[in-house]
Structure 1
Amino acid sequence: MTTVFPLLRLPYLVLMPILEQMELMEKISLSILSKRARMFLKLLKMKCEHINLKLNGDRLEMTVVFNNSEELKMDMYIYRTKEIGLKYGHDYISRWPGTLTPMDYVLPIMDVTHCSSIKQFTIASVSKYDTLSFLAKLPKINEVIVEESPLPKVLKIILPVSSAVTIIFTISVYADKPKYLREIFKGNLDAVTVREYRVSIMPNRDMMLSPNDLRMTNAKMLSLPCTFFKVKDVNRYFKLWMKKKCNDRLEYLRVTTGRWLKKIKINKLLKGLNAVQIPIRTDKTFRVLGNIKQFNSEDSNEEITSEFDITRADGRQATIRISNFGTVCFYVWPESTDDTTNIEPNQSSFTRKFSRLSSFYNSFIERFK
């Protein structure tokens, strides 16, 4: 007969050294048991680098990556076996019957590792059973990756708590559901990326969206595949940007118009923009969503072939970069400036503000002399 040891009833000065000596997996397992255990474990300040979630049918997979590269993985079966599996790397540490919803296990682990948001939430597939109801408890998500058709229920639950969406689809999945993409385009997201697994080299006309769909986008960063818009549609969007009649939040747009963009198509792309061709600088970088961004591609044969600057009537500037594969990158400068790059924040505005503050301070002191 085994006797249960009342660990949490130990005095604080005795309990904390015991918790510190526990293995990482033991601490995480203990944090799920009760709020009281989690309260003490939080004092150990275990901090993770990031947390990823993946919904794969009736299984929710959780990966916790710590600063020392250690990984904790959990498999939570939602309806089939209602089982929780705790893994360290690829080896199972323990299994136990799951009496709670998956999020009731995810949230305590996020709490004890001081993680306020999920880095990536991937929807690989959705079970025929109701596996989406537990998503209502989802905290903030930095990026949602949808590997199959975006479902209305998923969008309704996930979009309000996410700042970025990446959609990966095949032609057959997307062709009859463009309305879901339109809903994402209109969302107040920081970044929207659409990746396409092409079944055929030829563009599918059923997948083409209208210029109004591009106009209604509201994301700060937008990346789209080639079957969405024609060159003349992208040109029309640039003209709307010049007139301040489209998304004013836009910082970066990437559109793949098709391989080998010929000179005649480049002329159509730049028509009416008063674009000025500038020398190509491979080291030129821009700030997108606060991060340094540079033109790069997974294909080593893709390179920048031409670069142009355009300027709006209010002085706002943007750069259009075109690759030999027909990729068009549109970078909007954060504010009007005479510099040719916006890597560093504008120091002149800071200097002006500091000068005004200094003048105000000096005048204030003079009154008391």
Structure 2
Amino acid sequence: MFVFPECTSAALRSCVAVSPPTPPDIDSSFHLYPLSAAKMTTPFPLLCLPRLALIPIFQQMKLIDVIAFSFLSKRTHNLSKFLRKKTSFRYIDLAIKHNCLRMRIVFTNVSHLSLYFYKNVSTTVEVIFSYKKIQWNNIGLSTEQWVERVLDVTKCPSLRKLKLDAVPKFNVFSVFDVIPKVTVLEIWSNCCSALAKRAVEVLSPVTSSINILKAPFSNQEEFQSFWMGNVDCLSIYNDHLSRFQFNLSYLLISNAVKLELREVKLSLRDLNRFFSYCRGEGSCVASRGLRRLQYVRTVSLKVHLSILPDIDSSFISTLSRIPALSLKMFVFPKDTPAASRSIAFSLISKRTHNLSKYLRKNTSFRCILEIETDCVCMRIPLTDGPSLTLYFYTDDSTMIEVMFPYKKIQWKNIGLSTEQWVERVLDVTQCPSLSVKLDAVPKFDVFSVFEVIPKVTVLEIWSNCCNALAKRALQVLSPVTSSINILKAPFSNQEEFQSFWMGNVEFLSIYNDNLSRFQFNLSYLLISNAVKLELNEVPLSLRDLNRFFSYWLDKTSNHRLEHLSVKSLGHFDENILLSGLNATRFTENRTRELLSTNTFSQFRVFTGGFDVRRKDGKLAAITFAKTFGRTNINFDVSP
């Protein structure tokens, strides 16, 4: 019997029947097969439909279901491969272990599926999904066939990472032949030389970046042959390469675009000669050998050197100049991430700003902008390192204070205003998510900063924020903000509050404010235009909530509302809450399904749940639970 995880969609489960005769291409343990439309005894009747009709069905299946289905036979593999038109994962990693091969698929919601192919147990594959371990039966596929089917079904154009960190007890060379492309190939210290050399030989042409912790080559000839190959990015860690007599000549004959040698030490004289060759001086052969090179990083007197143009003289050391690009040498502390350098580089001039803006990609997943009493603070968690924090103090406009990661340094201001600094940082980081936090009464004019903010993920208005600043932020940023969190409503009267309340807001949360001064009541819920609404301190009676649910059933309430969270007053009585709604109590499967959607921010376990359905078929869930001595009630409309 084929074992599905608990979260497997009902679409796939409903297709499974029991005890049909087994066709020859499917293992009998699965009892699943497609037959012709004439017989109609198949447990997969949907597969009798034309292929075009099957495409939307496969699109609705979860990716884990499609992967499991593709392993049943050649036909299910081909159906999964060609009918699944879209993918729903972020990346796939592959690791070669001592006694198994591990494939890790990370989905768009950050959950992941791990598959373990143990060579000594070839009849099953171990699966870990949602922190649960299950097993899938193997129908006779080899390890490379398993890998190939997963890559086919997911339509993965490239493995994010292939990690070699063991001496495997089985032959894995054939696995390399089914890998279409690799972003990063990692060869770790525990990897045997034979496996590492084979991986480099087969995968180098389809690999963007190679990271080596220990060069696996036996002699200088093998190393030179590899070194002169076409590699986009080559990084060598924990290996000083002295056994290959590494010297300046290796840099000159390298064909890499980017080169990082963490333990290879070169003298300043060698580096000076290298920069001369970059300028076109010296041997023509050596200069031609550098035609692809764009970036070099090596160790010299514990200083990290990186080539950058047009740096202000107050914080550079001019060691060399390349006239073709007007480049200078910019000195950074060792191990400073590239993202931090790009931000610093963009603040030097308009030209460096434009270069950084259009050439730098994916610096950070999110930024946090905070308005404080005497400064603007920007926190940037970098993708290639720890967080970078910038402080723009208005009383000292000549300097910018930088914290990275636990050290305080200063960057010189070349005459930029606060909003210009903010604008340049947002341009360079190209951050998809910006949070704005207002928690002070600033001593300076920050309204102009709001004008340069293109989009806000979360706007937070805290208790210490002055009303003028909060109202201005809501006025300017509401149209470009996804979520607004308010700890204290900044409005002077009921008219101002109503004007804000009826605006188009995707997600509105109000904490620590019961809104009693605005005579908040049921009518506000009915006129709200929010998609998601959370009122953590606003008390509503059970009868008012029951009336609201009745209005929703009659389609006379906010038609955009998808989620409502409130607290109830006094004794909780579900009979009063659900009176006249024709509600249906949750089954165990329905409870599990709803919790898996990550809807609830208030609680993860609820004491009661009911479904209510409108005449047009629209379904909504009413759930409630006691937390910290009060009852929270959630209302969620199904998509």
TM-score (norm 2): 0.41
Asked whether the equivalents of residues 73 and 86 of structure 1 are also in contact (C-alpha less than 8 Å), the reply is yes
Kindly state the Cα deviation for residue 96 of structure 1 after the two structures are TM-superposed. 2.4
Distance 2:258 2:332 in 1: 19
Q: Give 3-state SS (helix, strand or coil) of 2:318's partner.
A: strand
Structure 1 residue aligned with 2:72, among 8, 14, 33?
Answer: 33
Task: Give unmatched runs, 5+ long, in structure 1.
Answer: 198-202, 282-305, 347-369
Q: Which moved more, 1:85-94 or 1:216-225?
A: 85-94
Aligned positions of 1:252-267 closer than 5 A: 252-259=295-302
Q: 2:142 is matched with which residue?
A: 101
d(CA) in 2 for partners of 1:156 and 1:278?
45
Counterpart-to-counterpart distance in 1, 2:227 and 2:172: 26
Distance 1:69 1:147 in 2: 26
Residue in 2 that maps onto 1:120 = 161
**Alignment-mate amino acid for residue 158 of structure 2:** S
SS of the residue 1:112 aligns to: helix
**What pairs with 1:237-248 in structure 2 (closer than 5 Å)?**
237-243=274-280, 244-248=287-291
Q: Which runs of 5+ in 2 are unaligned?
A: 1-17, 21-30, 32-41, 281-286, 360-639
- Conserved? CA contact 1:141–1:163, under 8 Å: yes
Counterpart of 1:361 in structure 2 is: none
1:187 deviation in Å?
A: 1.9
Letter in 1 for 2:64: M
Residue deviations 1:248-283 (CA, integer Å, cap 9, x gap) = 11221111224369xxxx9xx99xxxx9984366xx
Q: Relative contact order (C-alpha < 8 Å, sep 6+): which is higher?
A: 1
1:10 counterpart = 2:48: yes
Q: 1:22 to 1:325 in 2, by over 3 A?
A: closer
Secondary structure of 1:163 counterpart: strand
Match of 1:125, SS? Answer: coil
Output the CA distance in 1 between the equivalents of 2:264 and 2:77: 50
Change (3 A) 1:276 1:324: same
2:313 aligned with 1:279:
yes
Q: Is 1:158 aligned to 2:203, yes or no? A: yes
**Deviations 1:102-137 (Å, cap 9, x if unpaired)?**
221122222222211111111111325433233222
Please state how far the C-alpha of 1:308 moved relative to its aligned partner.
3.3
Partner of 2:495: none
CA contact (8 A) 1:147 1:168 kept: yes
Equivalences for residues 296-315 of structure 1 within 5 A: 306-308=316-318, 310-312=320-322, 315=324
Seen in structure 2, the aligned counterparts of structure 1 residues 340 and 68 have a Cα distance that, compared at 3 Å, is: closer
Q: Which amino acid aligns with 2:186?
A: I
**Residue 132 (structure 2) pairs with residue 91 (structure 1):** yes
Q: Which amino acid aligns with 1:232?
A: R
SS at match of 1:235: helix
Distance 1:317 1:217, change over 3 A: farther
Could you tell me which residue of structure 1 aligns to residue 259 of structure 2? Answer: 222
CA distance in 2 between partners of 1:142 and 1:212 (Å): 28
Which structure would you say has the larger Rg? 2
Distance 1:174 1:53, change over 3 A: closer
Per the alignment, residue 196 of structure 1 pairs with: 238
Contact preservation (8 Å) 2:229, 2:255? yes
1:166 positional shift: 0.8
> Who is 1:343 aligned against?
356
For the pair 1:81 / 2:94, whether they are aligned, the reply is no
Write out per-residue CA displacement over residues 25-77 of structure 1, whole angstroms, 9 at most, x where no aligned residue: 22210022234334544436233211111111231110111212221111112
- Distance (whole Å) between structure 2 residues aligned to residue 225 and residue 167 of structure 1: 10
Partner of 1:287: none
Opposite residue 123 of structure 1, the aligned amino acid is L
Per the normalisation by structure 1, the TM-score is: 0.67
User: Would you say 1:56 and 2:56 are equivalent positions?
Assistant: no
**What letter matches 2:143 in structure 1?**
P
Once the two structures are superposed, residues 157-208 of structure 1 have per-residue CA deviations (whole angstroms, 9 ceiling, x without a partner) of 1212212101123xxx7696665554443221211111228xxxxx795475
* SS at 1:127 equivalent: coil
Asked if the contact 2:268–2:300 (Cα under 8 Å) also holds between the matched residues in 1, the reply is yes
Tell me the distance in 2 between the aligned counterparts of 1:105 and 1:174: 28
Equivalent residues of 1:207, 1:227 under 8 A apart:
no
CA RMSD of aligned residues (A): 4.0
Structure 1's 227 and 129: CA in aligned 2 closer, same or farther, altered over 3 A?
same
1:316 to 325, 328, 331: 325
Is this contact kept in 1: 2:102–2:116, CA < 8 A? yes
What's 2:183 paired with? 142
Q: Relative to structure 1, is the Cα distance of residues 10 and 319 closer, same or farther in structure 2, using a 3 angstrom cutoff? A: farther
The counterpart of 1:167, out of the listed 212, 215, 229, is: 212
Among candidates 252, 265, 271, match of residue 234 of structure 1: 271
